[in-house]
Amino acid sequence: MGSKLHERVPAMASIHFDMENLDWTLNEFNWFREQGYRIVKGGWGKRPEAVFGLDRKKDIELAKRIREVIGEEIELVLDVLGARVKWDVPTAIQRFDDLEPFRLKWIEEAGGSSQYRYWRAGVERRRLSPVAAR
């Protein structure tokens, strides 16, 4: 205990998406890339009625455009606002399939913490991207 495990720990840049102003969001990710970040994360949203995870079409388009901006070498994490959006198992599987082409490092809190055991058991069989939850 107390010994060093790693020489270095990578920094991850992170923002709350503005789902109503995708240009602003994409500019932030471009800035992260320009600054040399190797892992970037975005999620939630600026307003409760416009958060990542609510609108399938917008979510896919945003993930696609972020990947185009940051390129292939930078790892991408997406964070669903678990307090507001709780994907059930079929929805989570569908969304993971939708987002798989964008090679996510992980998806965070897509099922919410209260149903995590049930949710993870159902999703584990199908998911390709790792899942993070509290």
Per the structure block, which two tokens stand in for 66? 């972020």
pLDDT at residue 24 tops 90: yes
What integer best gives the mean pLDDT of the chain? Answer: 85
Q: What is the pLDDT of residues 60-78, one digit of tens each?
A: 999 999 999 999 999 999 9
CATH superfamily of 12-132: Enolase-like C-terminal domain (3.20.20.120)
Output the CA angle 38-113-133, nearest 5 degrees: 20
Q: What predicted TM-score, i.e. pTM, was given to this entire model?
A: 0.82
Q: What is the pLDDT of residues 66-119, one digit of tens each?
A: 999 999 999 999 998 766 777 887 888 888 889 999 999 988 877 766 666 656
C-alpha 108 chain-centroid distance: 6
DSSP state of 78: E
Quote the pLDDT of residue 61.
96
